[in-house]
Amino acid sequence: ELKVEQNPLFLSMQEGKNYTIYCNYSTTSDRLYWYRQDPGKSLESLFVLLSNGAVKQEGRLMASLDTKARLSTLHITAAVHDLSATYFCAAHDTGTASKLTFGTGTRLQVTL
């Protein structure tokens, strides 16, 4: 059974600082997703990573995938308040059509 572990659960960052969120998954997966969720809102797709060594960047966020280590990271560069949200990683359950197994989420709070 595919399991996804994400850490930290909560992250308080100062504006301008860098930090990384880690996502480990237990069995082989062919797709790794990162989503953002604002309070009371739905999930906004950030990145989809498909292959070993994949790296994608959008603004201050960069995601990478190491399929051998079954690890994905979401790196935040020079955090700004607008990045405050909960971030989820999710792995596609290979062998299913579209089932995603989610991590617990990381609540990011960026302070001045």
Partner 1 sequence: KAGVTQTPRYLIKTRGQQVTLSCSPISGHRSVSWYQQTPGQGLQFLFEYFSETQRNKGNFPGRFSGRQFSNSRSEMNVSTLELGDSALYLCASSLGLLAVEAFFGQGTRLTVV
Tokens encoding 95: 């062998």
User: Judged by CB under 8 A, which of 62, 104, 107, 109 binds partner 1?
Assistant: 104
Interface with partner 1, residue 97, by CB under 8 A: yes
Q: Which is nearer to partner 1, 55 or 78 (CB)?
A: 55
User: Judged by CB under 8 A, which of 19, 48, 73, 80 binds partner 1?
Assistant: 48
Tokens encoding 17: 């600082």
DSSP state of 67: T
Interface with partner 1, residue 31, by CB under 8 A: yes
Residue 1 parent element (H or E): none
Q: Rounded to whole angstroms, how far apart are CA atoms 57 and 59?
A: 6
The neighbour count for residue 112, using CB atoms within 10 Å, is 7
Query: Among 12-20, 35-43, 58-66, 72-80, which window interacts with partner 1 (CB under 8 A)?
Result: 35-43
Q: Give exposure, 46-67, as e/b (b: 16+ Cβ within 10 Å).
A: bbebeeeebeeeeeebbbbbeb
Query: Among 13-21, 38-46, 67-75, 76-84, which window interacts with partner 1 (CB under 8 A)?
Result: 38-46
| 49-88 residues near partner 1, rule: CB under 8 A | 50, 88
**Residue numbers at the binding site for partner 1 (CB under 8 A):** 31, 33, 35, 41-45, 48, 50, 88, 90, 93, 96-105
